[in-house]
Structure formats: C-alpha cells, structure tokens
Amino acid sequence: MNIILGITGSIAAYKAADLANTLTKQGHSVYAVMTDAAQKFITPLTLQTLTKNPVYTDMFAAEKPEEVAHIALAQKADLVIIAPASADFIAKAAAGIADDMLTTVMLPLKKGTPIILCPAMNTFMYDNPVTQRNLAALVSLGYKIVEPREALLACGVTGRGALADLDTILDAVKNNTP
C-alpha cells in the first residue's frame, strides 16, 4: 500500500521516524511529506533512510520534470496519515489552504482516500474552540481523528495533546485500509 506520511511542526515530529520505519517494515511504501516547521524538529534524511523513498519538502522542486509532484504523489496514495498534525496544519486543511507541499498534496487526493489525522500540540491549543471547530469540519469531510493522549507535555503542562501511541496509530491504519 502507498502511504503518504505528513509530518508537521510539533515536538512529536521525532516520533514520525518510528511510525515510518514500522510501516515500511510492514511492507508499505511510505512517502514522507514534511512542512518547513517539521524540518526544525527532524531531518528529511532520517525519513528518507528509513522509508527508502524521497522525502517531499518543497512544492517547487522538480525532481521529475515530467510530472507535477504534488499531483502525482496524491494520485498514488492509498492512505494518508498526518502525524503529528499541528494546529496550523489542521486550520489550513479545514480551510482548504494549499500553501506548502503537504497542504498542496491534500487537495488532489483521489475521492475516498482515507485520511488519518493525529493531532499533537499544547493542551490549550488542542482545546481551543477554533481547533475543535476545525477538527469537526475535517471529520465532516471524512477525516479520521486519532485523539491525542493526556500526558505531561513538552511545555510543562499536563493535559490532552500528546501524540497518540504508535500502536494506536497503527490500529487506525489497519482499520482504515482500503
């Protein structure tokens, strides 16, 4: 199965390496797409090494001039996982904004492509009514949400906002496989 793994700017971005590695070992072809903010937490080289596939970071890079990268990538996707999904990405996705490689890949997905969103952020950001409204809008569009855990967060606050455990995310993949 071809899986797009979207990684956004959250301290939990380092956990995407474990997810990418596990999915690859399960026999999936994983294509990581990273926002600029994600690259502040983890490097594309880490994900490229684990997935054995190119990592997409720039919507204007023309690695294969014969194709439009965001369209070709979206059309090959059997499943999309955004882990971690930041408040910024969630807001952009809910509004249909396409201003980076990841948000641009989301719009031309084939109809019915399962999308699993794994939020990870400060508890106050997660509980904010705007974030909750954006999540509800995405659920109404068919996105599946893997709820964050309650934990001591990097900011020192205890609350909901920690990225779901790897096993929970893998269960969501198994349950949403086309």
Token pair 């893998």 is at which residue?
A: 170
pLDDT bucket at 65, cuts 50 / 70 / 90: low
Interval 15-61: pLDDT, tens: 999 999 999 999 999 999 999 999 999 999 999 999 999 999 998 77
Q: What is the mean pLDDT of the chain?
A: 94
Supply the pLDDT for residue 177. Answer: 77
Give the residue extent of every domain in the chain. Answer: 2-175
Closest residue by Cα to residue 88 from 134, 19, 129, 56: 134
The pair phi, psi for residue 14, each rounded to 5°, is -65, -25
Q: Is the predicted pLDDT of residue 133 greater than 90, yes or no?
A: yes
Instruction: Report how far apart the first and last C-alpha atoms of the chain are (Å, whole number).
Output: 9
Question: Are 90 and 138 spatial neighbours (Cβ–Cβ below 8 Å)?
Answer: yes
Q: Give a three-class secondary structure readout of 123-145.
A: HHHHHCHHHHHHHHHHHHCCCEE
Supply the pLDDT for residue 104. Answer: 95
Q: Is the predicted pLDDT of residue 62 greater than 70, yes or no?
A: no
Q: Is 57 left (phi over 0), alpha (psi -120 to 50) or beta?
A: alpha
Supply the pLDDT for residue 25. Answer: 98
Say which residues have a Cβ less than 8 Å from residue 164's Cβ, sequence separation at least 6. Answer: 118, 146, 147, 148, 149
The pair phi, psi for residue 128, each rounded to 5°, is -55, 135
Supply the pLDDT for residue 66. Answer: 67
pLDDT bucket at 67, cuts 50 / 70 / 90: confident
Amino acid identity, residue 170? L
User: Rounded mean pLDDT of 78-92?
Assistant: 98
Supply the pLDDT for residue 95. Answer: 97
* 155 given a catalytic annotation: yes
Supply the pLDDT for residue 129. Answer: 98
Question: Are 126 and 89 spatial neighbours (Cβ–Cβ below 8 Å)?
Answer: no
Among residues 136, 155, 158, 165, the one annotated as catalytic is 155
Which CATH code is given to the segment(s) 2-175? 3.40.50.1950
The Cα–Cα gap between 77 and 87 comes to 23
Buried b (16+ CB within 10 A) or exposed e, 92-103: bbbeeebebbbb
Q: Is the predicted pLDDT of residue 63 greater than 80, yes or no?
A: no
